[in-house]
A and B are shown apart, each in its own frame.
Chain A
Amino acid sequence: MNKMTLSALTLSAALLPLASQAATEIEWWHAMGGANGEKVNEIAANFNKSQSDYIVKPVYKGNYSETMTAAIAAFRAHQQPDIVQVFEVGTATMMSAKGAIYPVYQLMKDAGEKFDSKNYLSAVTGYYTDSNGNMLSMPFNSSTPVLYYNKDLLAKANVEPPKTWEEMDEAGKKLRAAGVQCGFTTAWQSWIQLENLSARHNVAFATEDDGFKSTKAELAFNGPLQVMHISKMAEWQKEGVFQYGGRTNDAAAKFYSGECAMYTESSAGYSGIRKNASFPFGVSQLPYWQSQIDKPLNTIIGGASLWAMQGKPSDHYKGVAKFFSYLSQPEVQADWHQFSGYLPITQAAYDLTKSQGFYDKNPGTETAVIQMTSGTPTVNSKGLRLGNFAQIRDIIDEELESVWSGKQDAKTALDTAVKRGNELLRKFEKANK
């Protein structure tokens, strides 16, 4: 009757890949494009070579939100991958989805795989640990914000890389006076200029210990420190000391092109900068306000972790556990860390990298690790655990943009962002009772 459809059906049946392999296939959805994506493929290939029972198949699913959404849609349709890479802001959503995730500590125990959470850097795992100290997901790519600077432009204006925001003020003005178009620009404005700002100055970003204690948390980033910082940045935007360059890390273009002399960006931006900057550059710690704190706290992490998803046959999870162990090996970790600029997740990988002399050969790469691991994290610098946080970040982006364009003052914008964000938090609380 309908030959077309029929022949299309047979055609597609004939073209379906042969699924009869001896080894168990483990699907891993990730958000690593570009060079990092190639590295991910390499890691998986090496794991596949190291044993013959499991085949890890990495699939690039677009950016972080696309990857997470795809996994969630797949879960709803019972087609979920074994492992999915979820960005740090999705942590609370994943954690509360008890029936959807297989906590890593449990998985390792059930699979009989050797696993000691103490081997991991607490500054990294803290973000992914529940209130009982159990690790729920496997940290994979963690980064933290640092300051990159264009050595040529700084030399031209005769300034040192600023350690504090007070120095940034001065440096920016000098740079402007020396004819540089813009002092600094920033990537990930919410993460760097609000979340990390709060952590570094030991100020709460949200109540309930930044959401770690319960889903009742309310946003609190409209306090005096944050308002002061954002007002100052708005002022800088007018003077050209700061220039907004877009959401996520779109601002990179401003730094690469030599328009802006400095750039606050994730430590993972290192490889991109090395590749694209035609000038010598340096890395230093994220500035802080000397007037607000004598000794700044650690910065918090960004990036993503790997979650095992429920609903697969048990032999899959043995493979997942093996793969997680493989990923945590110092050699694999150190290689990934050195290649991508993401932080090492175990002490052993950090030590190995040090002993290989990597930090000496690549000045600036250790900055992030030092900044990240200095001091003991307080409740304000452990991380954030807020539901619907991806959306809240969008709101923050929107409100901050209206500050940079001069439509709103800092106080109004932050108040609005808090109000709008709290509505989402209440929604989340209600949906995850």
Chain B
Amino acid sequence: MTVTFPQRPLPWLLLLPQLLVTAIFFLWPAGQAVKQAFYQEDAFGLSSEFVGLENFSHLLHDPLYYASIGTTLFFSFAVAFVGIALALLLAVMADRVMRGQIIYKTLLIWPYAVAPALAGVLWWVMFDPSTGPIAVWLKSMGINWNHFLNGNQAMTLVVIAATWKQISYNFLFFLAGLQAIPRSLIEAAAIDGASPFKRFWTVVFPLLSPTTFFLLVVNLVYAFFDTFGIIDATTSGGPGQSTKILVYKVYDDGFIGLDLGSSSAQSVILMMIVGVMTVIQFRYIERKVQY
């Protein structure tokens, strides 16, 4: 890494395409979004007025904004927890079986490739209160499923759809982690007479904890930012505000409500959150590479 080439103009030439694309399609629009956060404007952009921090102070005094933060946190942790737990279970099972491992793996990883919006549409159909097979089955079990009305059920629905897509990712990482554990360690524990269950908790799981931590961060980021399509295709944030996560709120206020000022202020806040999260993630990756 210390060895480099001395040329002067060449590195700039090499960087040029990416810098250009970044400047035109990222920096400039992002700058506009930040600027907008300090203005109040009509929808068509015919008149605009500098309002300073008013958009921010509105937000910070709005109980619904805090409610949305709460919803986002709950949603993200639910997706991360359920996704990690189920993926771990499946990965441990897949690691155990000798026969058919590749088939199992293949049949479990494909949902990663499905677009969030499509995942949303699929699960929406499954849970439609009047016609969805699962909703009807639940009704026959005595559970009155109506996610149009019941916020908790709506939340369950979006968590299921979001987790469904993410399990494959978690599964792959856990499986790789499990297969990297030296057999000798497990064998030693087995000779000591530890049951498979005990072996898992005392030997395997601690060794997986870096993977688990990494997946926790990744899943949180995923739930925070990449689930827009799922929410949009299923609940549109409802009922009430029960599934309106921050990213969806930005879109909803700015795009449906045409309140660009408030929406931009929310983007700026989000940007800061992403910034912090990215730095954490980045530091983690850096450390791993040096190690």
Contacts and interface: CB of A to CB of B under 8 A. Distances in A.
Note whether A and B form a binding pair. Answer: yes
Interface of A: 1-2, 5, 65, 69, 72, 75-76, 93, 96-100, 244-247, 250, 253-254, 256-257, 259, 388, 390-391, 394, 397-399, 401-402, 404-405, 407, 424, 427, 430-433
Contacts of B151: 405
Nearest to A93: B43
Nearest to A391: B257
Nearest to A63: B256
A404 B149 contact: yes
A244 B130 contact: no
Contacts of B252: 394
A75 B42 CA distance: 12
9 contacts: A72-B44, A75-B45, A96-B42, A100-B46, A244-B148, A245-B148, A246-B129, A247-B236, A247-B239
Most chain B C-beta atoms within 10 Å of own C-beta, residue among A93, A397, A430, A431 = A431
Nearest to A100: B44
B236 A401 contact: no
Contacts, number: 100
A76 B32 CA distance: 13
B238 A401 contact: yes
A99 B151 CA distance: 42
Contacts of B236: 247
Contact of B43 (A1, A72, A256, A397): A72
Given A99-B46, A259-B130, A93 B149 contact: no
B40 interface: yes
Given A76-B45, A247-B236, A397-B238, A405 B259 contact: no
B46 A97 contact: yes
A379 to B, nearest CB: 26
A1 B236 CA distance: 45
Interface string B7-28: 0000001000100000000000
Given A72-B258, A390-B256, A427-B259, A97 B44 contact: yes
B155 to A, nearest CB: 13
Contacts of A404: 149
A2 B17 contact: yes
Contacts of B184: none
B48 to A, nearest CB: 8
Contacts of B45: 75-76
A247 B41 CA distance: 29
B258 A430 contact: no
B281 interface: no
B149 A257 contact: no
B290 to A, nearest CB: 32
Nearest to A247: B238
Nearest to B257: A391
B13 to A, nearest CB: 7
A97 B130 contact: no
Contacts of A431: 40-42, 47, 49
A409 to B, nearest CB: 15
Given A397-B238, A405-B149, 16 more contacts: A244-B148, A244-B149, A245-B129, A254-B129, A257-B130, A259-B130, A388-B259, A394-B252, A397-B239, A398-B238, A398-B239, A405-B239, A427-B40, A427-B259, A431-B41, A431-B47
A254 B136 CA distance: 13
Contacts of B241: 398
